[in-house]
Amino acid sequence: MTQRERRFPGVINTIERPLLLPRDVSLVDPEDNEPTAVEWRFDEEGNEVRVSVRTGRIIPIPQKAFETRDYKVRLGYAEQAKDTPAAEVTRVTFEPALKTFEMEIAEAKGIKEDRVPYPMYWY
């Protein structure tokens, strides 16, 4: 080693990069406290839960994940005057049907289609 190499310790370049969830981050299995892959399944009550692929144990979602930006728990939140009522939010307003937009409008307005389309060939 030369005298210059002994005096200069080198440089560490640090670059921030995002963490990729499947490759860099994994959840801890509550059975043995080891990292594990996770898949979503339904339990007996019909709730969607996270399940460890290795052991089949349910991995609970922490309560902190249900807090909103202003740190209120969802269950303890009181509706305010300007909030949309919960009953209005959960009301079903869309009925799916295999129709085009034009067909739905024609049915709603009572328009009957009596024209016969001429044959059209796309080659």
Q: What is the pLDDT of residues 37-69, one digit of tens each?
A: 999 999 999 999 999 999 999 999 888 887 777
pLDDT of residue 109: 96
pLDDT of residue 77: 73
pLDDT of residue 59: 93
CA–CA dist 77, 84 (Å, integer): 13
Residues in contact with 6: Cβ distance below 8 Å, sequence separation at least 6, in sequence order: none
Closest residue by Cα to residue 41 from 28, 50, 31, 52:
50
In tens digits, what is the pLDDT along the chain, a chain of 123 residues? 566 667 777 788 788 888 887 788 889 998 899 999 999 999 999 999 999 999 999 999 888 887 777 666 666 677 888 989 888 999 999 888 899 999 999 999 999 988 888 888 887
Please give the helix or strand (H or E) that residue 66 lies within, else none: none
User: How far are the Cα atoms of 67, 68, 83, 91 from residue 80, in angstroms, in the given order?
Assistant: 17, 15, 5, 19
pTM value is 0.47
Phi-psi region of 83 (alpha: psi -120 to 50; beta: other; left: phi over 0): beta
pLDDT of residue 7: 76
